Structure 1
Amino acid sequence: ALLVPLWVKSERLRGLQWVGLLCAFAAVVFALREGFTGDHASTARGDLLALAAGMLWGLTTVVIRATRLVSISAEKLLFYQPAVTAAVFPFLSLYLGEQWSWHFSPFAVTSLLLQTVIGAFASYLLWMWMLGRYPATKISVFVFFTPLFALLFGALWLKESVTTGLLVALATVAAGIVLVNRKPASA
């Protein structure tokens, strides 16, 4: 949402939309605040990789929205991204010296299937379809639900308690979505 207006002039953000994006961002920071305490040295690399992944996904949205890729079918866009990743990442993993180990359990297989079918296939297919039909600045705020839903479904899946802070964060992201998608007052 922040970079798209640089290339797609029809997707400029108004003041209230900026407030909505900031609300949604603050809600995610609030929900994840417990992870900001403790030993940062042991998690800094993973945190940086997660941040880089989010930025690269955002750049993917910009590239799709600002080029002719927006006219390609969602299914084709979805196919090419994991296909390239599946071809490149095993070699990158070997180059980085990652250990390959296989430990199958019903829980692990079910988790992998859920992540593959819902997390990778269905959600990205819907995202690619929406990018072809709606302004990225209006739909990008929905992405702030992603880490919160991960916390929510993770807690439910692992039979952990859902915190009040998470529910407040979900409501705040919803308020941010309303602000971003609210029609401007007529002059």
Structure 2
Amino acid sequence: MYDSSLSTLIFHELMNGKVINRTVLNNSGEFTANPLFKEVMENLKDYRTQYEMSGCEFIDESEFIFIRDRASSRDDLKTDITMKACILLLILGKYINENNYRLSKLTEPSGGITRADIEAIQEEEDTVELIEKAKLKSDLHAEIKNVLVNRNIMLEKPSEESYILSDAGRAFFTEVIESYV
């Protein structure tokens, strides 16, 4: 049986374009099980039916859940937000690679992209050009917060202003990198 209070939270998350990840960061900055994800997985058939009846495609992966408009074809998934997310993930990956950081800076609670990192990224000449061509706001930090953090693709570490990829973020990052390699 579903939990109505969790169901309401799930509805708001999904309808606002957010991803529900298998794990979230707790107050100590460690990964912990996400009760929203657990609720959906325990009542998957009911949730899938609910969103499909509302005209949504319900995407449940082993690490995350999201919905998208069923009316759009699978080939037409390059929405403005999707493209911005891909570009931002590529920019972050480029920064990690060019500065010889380990991938764990993006993926592990012990790492994290800091505001100073974002400012350094924004000052790179080729990044400025990418930001202009992609029609991103000149404030890269605001774009990362709006496109990646607010949609749960990246998680903000509670004790500091730094960000790591969520379960969905790691999957999307891998997909983006494989597409462009």
TMscore range, shorter length: under 0.3
> What TM-score, normalized to structure 2?
0.28
Compare CA radii of gyration and give the structure with the larger one.
1
> What TM-score, normalized to structure 1?
0.27
Q: Which has the higher contact order (CA 8 A, sep 6+)?
A: 1
